[in-house]
Every structure is written in C-alpha cells, then in structure tokens.
Structure 1
C-alpha cells in the first residue's frame, strides 16, 4: 500500500531579523501593551505609530511624511514593519533603502518616482447583476426569416425562474439561447444568468425532482434563496498584470475557462501613448489565487504601457527579440495614465488606495533627491512616506551643509518625527527570549541574562547573532538546550564592532591605514 503525505501549499518564510514582528501590539484604545505582537518597550513610539495607522486607514495621511529617528538597534525598521502588518495586505507597502537610488542606467529621481507609484494601489470595482433560480418555463419565440423561404429565426427566449422568495419571467436575447442549448438546460434545472456578459451556468437539477429515477448521475441542488434578481459589487484587489494588445474600449468580459471559476479580464485603454494607437494593459484576475498575485499599483500600469508586448507592430516585435533593459518611463506616459485613472475614479469604476513608502537610511540620499521629495510629497498622487535614520547632526550628502539627521531643514519642516529610545537590560532579555522562541532554540534564564549583558556592552544585534553559533556548539557537546558556557565559547570566537575597533586602536601600527 502506497501512502503519501500531502505537502502544505502555504508559503514557507525564512526566519529573518524581523520575523517575530506581527504588528504594533496596541490595545483598542491605542495604548501600547508592554509585551505584544513581538514588540517590547518603545511604548511612546508604538502609540505614535498606531495613530499614523488610524490616519492611513481614514485616508487622512496621504502626502504626509514621517521620520523614525533613533540610535542603531532601537527598532526603527521593526516599527515600519509593524505599521505594514497593522495595515494588512490590502494596503501597498513598498520598502526601499536610500542607496537604491544610485544607478548607472536610470536617474535618481526616476527610481524615487517608481517607488512612489509602487506604493499607490488601484482597486477596480464591478457591479454584477445575476438572475438565479429554477427554470419553470423555457420557450423560444420564432419569427419569419428575413431571407424568405421556410426558415425561422429565434427573435427572443421567454424563460421563467423560481426561487424561495418568488418567480420572474425574463425575455432574453437570442444569443443567450445558444448558451442555454450548450449547457443543456431543461425545465427543472437550477441556473444563473449574468446580465452584464450574458453568460449562462447550469448549477444542477432542482432537488424537487430527486425521486424521479432510482439510478441517475445528476447533481441535485436546493432551490436558491432570496430574489431571482441579485445585485452585488465585486472589488477586484488581487491582480496579476499580463501584457496584451486589445481592440476594444474599457470592458469587463468573462473568459470561458472551465478550470478557474470567476475569471475576469479588465482592459484599460490608453490611446496615443508612445505614438502607437490602442496600447492597452490587460489585467487577469483570479480570486483566491496565491503566490504571484499582488495588488495592482500605478507602477504596474506604467511598466506595462512603457513596454507593450504581444503586438504585431515593429516596436513590440523588436522588444520581444532584444534583451530587456532598464529604461526610464516618460512623464508624458505617466500623465496619460493619471488622466485615465482619474476618469475612472470620477465614474466610480476604480478607487485609489494610497499605501506606504518606507525609505530606510534616508541620510544616504543627496540634495537632488531631497529637493525632488519636497515636490513629490505635495503632489495629488502621493503615498504616505516613512523615513528612517540613525544619524545625528551630520552633513547632507553631496554638500558641506550640516543638518540634523543629514536631512535639509526645509524637508525636516514637513516631517513628523517619532523618536526611538535605547533598550534597557530587562527589555533586551525579553527581546532575546522572543528571538529564541522564533528560532526554536531552548535557552535557560542564566544564558538569557548573559546575552542581555552582551547586548548592553556590545549591541542587541550581536547578542542575537551569537544564539545560532551557540546552538551549534551545544549540539556538538550533545545537548539540545543552550547554556552559558556555549555562549561564552561563541563570544570568544566572534568579535563585536566595539571590541574590533578597540583592537584596531591598540594594534594600529600593524594595519595599513
């Protein structure tokens, strides 16, 4: 007998530095819980971040900026990740580092604008009308053929539908009759008809006819509840961009695919873009699909229309043959996309979701980037921007100007600053205990106290880094739990930054300087 274990399809996540952060750990009234959601201490900073999360949810924070300032190892990146966890997956969160803007192929300001537009999501809504019920009557109405002779044409179809709440008689287009024949619909079947697309789906046979035959391979379903005519709004958030060329205006059409239920195509037209007529973005939607699906953002629309594929024009054919290269997206293209997006927002078809752009090590940006950020923060399409830095008073990169946090004063004036404080010994021990639990390590109280001492003298990161080597040492000694001796051995093998600097000062004559 062959027995196989079914593997879980859930995404396995590698244990990283901030894996233990699950949120901000706040009560309903916004007060910080001492130990919750992986956070320890930093009560004031967490409460301030909680207010920011509330403002983002109420869409009152768009175009504003926030600065997380504090010494190294005080949880600035953890706070930003906590904000993203609190907002959930429906709000775009785009993290980047200040040094990412420096590229030999693309301008610094272009990289910033790309990330700005990555942090703005687009939610597309569709109003769906469905007629559902048990077929009580099905009679096609025929008329004389326009060509003469004995031929007949079906002018319309009269169909009666019944639910628990009532019955309705519908007069349908002759094209729907073909769909009814294809689905082999008969009186007594339960069906639903989509009013927008005219799609017909046979659900099964009504359970009132279940006793007709002893042996039958028919699926019996109960009589539908509610009214025959139902209206519902579908918000399409999870979207996978697929490039294509189409020849129709904005439409929502159903793809006939048996394997995937409720698959839709949304085509957005952009005329006169890059001097090519009818350049489109085709977005394929699969509800509940995991893995590669993500929220569609304004950058997805930019990238798709900057490099159209699948067409027969010379640009598309050359683009398919040549090696893809990082290129800039023009302002003209972005303005065209903004016009179309704004039109659909006005019509109520789409809705913008301003997300969060997190720029870590913001002191790495130079004066050009800061002046560009001043303008970008005040534009109508701007996300919430969170900066983080561990610098005190230092020079602004690329200039001789000295400024707090390495940020020009005119940009600092636009920021709300949240300060993070250094952790005490008790807080460090609690953080190390949480990390040990996440990494599935067994550490006793004495060892945690010793790690807390290392965290105070060296740094919290160094104390966390010593846990994995100490677990290997413990296993080599035939133990599952980590004791103080294992940590002492690991500590003698690996130097921290302060010890290394002290050693360099003492032995500077032996090194090349």
Structure 2
C-alpha cells in the first residue's frame, strides 16, 4: 500500500485510531446507507426541491410518492399497492424510507425483503400475514384518575407482623406530592411502597400514581435539582402544572401484530390493557386465522366505543420478484381485506419468469393480476452531476473531506460503474488518507482504492476475458 511507504513511522492499518467524534460528550451513532434521507424534500405545493431532505434528483418519483403520502394521510389509499421500479442503485429503498419519514413515527412502517418469507419456522403466507398485521396500528386512548407531582415526602410506617412474633412489616406509606398549584399528602397501600422501591423513587423525583390500579411510574428528576451533581445521567422534567389529583388522557400505540402475539401466549388478565402488558419476545409461532378474527372483534368493539382508533400503516416489500406465485396469490387476498395497510413494493427486474412457475413471464416478475392493482412509479438513472452531489452529501454525513479532484473522480466512477461502488470507496479511502497524515481524501487515495478493489462491471469483464482465453486454449 502506498500509505505504508510514505513514512517509516506510519501507524499500521490494524492499529489505526477510531475516527474522532463531533464532541467529547456526543454519543456516536451508526451511519446507515440511507442516514442522509430525511424525507421526500417537497414544497408545500407538492413540487420536488432540486436537493431537499437529503434527496438528490428523482423529482418525478418523489412528487408521485408525495401524492401517495397525501392519500395515505387522508386514508384513501388503504388496500392499494405502490410499485417502485428501476435499475439497482436508483433510490427505490430511499423513496420508501422517505415516505416513512413523511408519515411520521406514529404511523407503523414494516419493511421486509422478499426472501424473508422463506423461513424454516413458519409458512410463507404466515410471514406475509404477520407483516401486514404489524403495519396496522391501534391508538388506545384512556382517561384515568391519577396523582402527579414531585415527591416531597416518602415515609413508610411499620407495624408488628401479625403472622409472626419476629420482625416488622410496612402497614402503609405516606407520600407527599407537590405541583405548581399545591401539595397533597397521600396514605397508600404497602404494595405501592414495593412498586416505589422497584422504580428506585426518592424524594425529588416526579411521579404519577394511578388511582384505580395503584401503578407507579417515575417520569424523571425535578428540574429544581438540575444544578446538583450526579454520577448517573438524569432526565430532568419541570414541576407538573395543575392539582395533584387530576384526570389525564393516556395514549398508547400498539399494532395488531403485537396483540396477535400476546394472545397467542396469554398471560395475566383478559382485557386489552393486560394483553399489551404481556408482550414477550420469544420464538416465532404461527397465529391462527380464528385468533386473528377474535382480536379483530375486540378491536372493533373498542373502536365502536371510541376507546381506540385504527391507524393503517405501510408494508414495504423490497425485491418483490423473490416472492413466488403462492405468495402473490395470498397478497391479492390480503389487499382485499377490510383492514389492509398501504403496500409499497420494489423491484429491479424487467420481463422475467414469475417464481414458482415454469411458463409465466410477466413484467417485473409480478403476475399481471397483482400488477393491475399497483400504481407504478419509475426511478431514473442518476446523471454525473447528481452522483457528485450524492457523494458530497454522504461525505458530509460521514464527516469526510474531499478534494475537488476526488469528487470529480468519484462522480465518473459512479457514472461508469454504479453509484453504490462510488460510495463504497469513501470510507476505505479516508483510512488511507488518515494513515498518510492528510486531513482530506486526495486523488491518489481513490486511485489506490481502484487498484485494491474491483467494481461489478470490471469483474464481469475480467471473467469474460478469462473464459474466452480458456476456450481458445481448449480448442
């Protein structure tokens, strides 16, 4: 490597220091391939900005997805499908993630890849059904009477143990709570004291206690103690407003998939709140259609009562051509369901054989009956200028500095080979630049990367040359 010969005291690659963080106290986060995508980057009129929300180019596709986002928000797209088609590396997955950002964190977004359905644990159709159920949210609103405030007093009262002559037991606990409007002293059951000990609540913490169930939750530390020094990082919250005793509307978000899983392994009570509290992470089990129908009945009852609200989300299936004819048939049935989420599909295939068949050739590898249900959005190939902007955006996200010659070189690499290959050269080249003692990536680092690594087209050409040479030698 060139960098290793630039100086005799150069640090070996395996001992290269970690890249510096932006600040000493900042927590470093993993940089994913689409970390720079923050949304579709549309104006209020629905037109795409040239460079908006981290998105470069694809103006027609972004504007089309913006229309779909408006339809989803107005709940007029449920049960339909959006198909994103285009060559590899043209931003299909980025478009789906941008749609997710535009919808917000409260709308369920369930991404998967077509090959995920081929599981050894459950059936293919069960994997699809589970993904659809996880993309349908349920927003439960419940009004509860609670006591909320900053703890000013926490005094357990002990009494003789009636079951034994030895030792004492807590008969009740006295808690003082303070808000902006006043204070209140509560005399509570000893079981609540156990919950207080479990939550590690001390004087100065802001808590709320449910009157009916006695559940205790610690909200955080009162901001009056923000100037004090703690070894542990604390979350400081302001002093609650209003009276100590109040009625409060609590909103909880779950998905139908969560309710299915909880009912498949029931624990505790039978009401919907107990079901939500019994969610466990364990091995995958198939959920019967009968159980799903029962869950739907309970959900419908809560919706009719005005306690809950159904929030249709989005299922994103990438590489949809990997599904077989059985899965496509089942997708048709799921799309016709009255409780169906929005479905976004993505593929990079042209006319190809539908998986699971021997004679059905269809556009994008999707059967015509399902294709007829889809609104199709095409992604275009990036120009050299757009590739350069994408490379610069990624360099900014990763905290890398590029010389103008490097940016022009990588734009050319992306145009001749692929955008992904150009982006993949960034981080290795930054390691070489760091080992050589440079603050930014220079052209010689990129040239050395091209010597060390091959792009897909160059590798395929080399294989073809070797094959033709072997054929000539054999003849």
TM-score under structure 2 length normalisation = 0.71
Task: Give CA deviations for 1:400-458 in whole Å, capped at 9, x if unaligned.
Answer: 21111000010011001111100001100000000111111110111101101110110
Q: Which residue of 1 aligns with 2:65?
A: 49
SS in 1 for 2:35: coil
- How do 1:9-408 residues align onto structure 2 when only pairs under 5 Å count? 12-128=28-144, 179=188, 232-237=248-253, 296-309=254-267, 325-399=283-357, 400-408=359-367
Q: List structure 1 runs of 4+ shifted beyond 4 angstroms.
A: 6-10, 129-133, 176-180, 192-201, 221-226, 228-232, 509-512
Q: Which residue of 1 aligns with 2:418?
A: 459
Structure-1 separation of matches of 2:215 and 2:422: 62
| Distance change >3 Å, CA 347–CA 478, structure 1 → 2 | same
What is the aligned length? 371
Deviation at 1:509, TM superposition (A): 5.7
Structure-2 separation of matches of 1:76 and 1:30: 19
| Distance change >3 Å, CA 351–CA 480, structure 1 → 2 | same
Structure-2 separation of matches of 1:76 and 1:326: 30
* Partners of 1:69 and 1:417 within 8 A in 2: yes
Task: Give CA deviations for 1:371-413 in whole Å, capped at 9, x if unaligned.
Answer: 1000100101111110000111111111121111000010011
Structure-2 separation of matches of 1:475 and 1:129: 60
Task: Give CA deviations for 1:246-280 in whole Å, capped at 9, x if unaligned.
Answer: xxxxxxxxxxxxxxxxxxxxxxxxxxxxxxxxxxx
Structure-2 separation of matches of 1:74 and 1:416: 18
* Partners of 1:71 and 1:390 within 8 A in 2: yes
Q: Which residue of 2 aligns with 1:411?
A: 370
- How do 1:432-443 residues align onto structure 2 when only pairs under 5 Å count? 432-443=391-402
* Partners of 1:179 and 1:199 within 8 A in 2: no
SS in 2 for 1:71: coil
Task: Give CA deviations for 1:215-266 in whole Å, capped at 9, x if unaligned.
Answer: xxxxxx999769x9965533223xxxxxxxxxxxxxxxxxxxxxxxxxxxxx
Q: Which residue of 2 aligns with 1:150?
A: none
Q: Which residue of 2 aligns with 1:276?
A: none
Q: Which has the higher helix share?
A: 2
Structure-1 separation of matches of 2:45 and 2:141: 33
* Partners of 1:179 and 1:200 within 8 A in 2: no
* Partners of 1:74 and 1:420 within 8 A in 2: yes
Deviation at 1:92, TM superposition (A): 0.7
Deviation at 1:127, TM superposition (A): 2.4
* Alignment gaps of 5+ in structure 2: 1-22, 150-178, 194-207, 218-237, 270-280
Deviation at 1:55, TM superposition (A): 1.6
Structure-1 separation of matches of 2:436 and 2:408: 21
| Distance change >3 Å, CA 70–CA 224, structure 1 → 2 | closer
Structure-2 separation of matches of 1:480 and 1:432: 18
Structure-2 separation of matches of 1:225 and 1:77: 47
Task: Give CA deviations for 1:12-37 in whole Å, capped at 9, x if unaligned.
Answer: 53111111111111111111111111
| Distance change >3 Å, CA 506–CA 302, structure 1 → 2 | same
Larger Rg computed on CA atoms: 1
Q: Which residue of 2 aligns with 1:208?
A: none
SS in 2 for 1:388: strand
Structure-2 separation of matches of 1:130 and 1:485: 66
* Partners of 2:39 and 2:98 within 8 A in 1: yes
Deviation at 1:128, TM superposition (A): 3.8
RMSD (Å) for aligned C-alpha atoms: 3.5
| Distance change >3 Å, CA 129–CA 460, structure 1 → 2 | same
Structure-1 separation of matches of 2:209 and 2:122: 51
TM-score under structure 1 length normalisation = 0.66
* Alignment gaps of 5+ in structure 1: 1-5, 134-162, 166-175, 184-191, 202-220, 238-295, 312-322
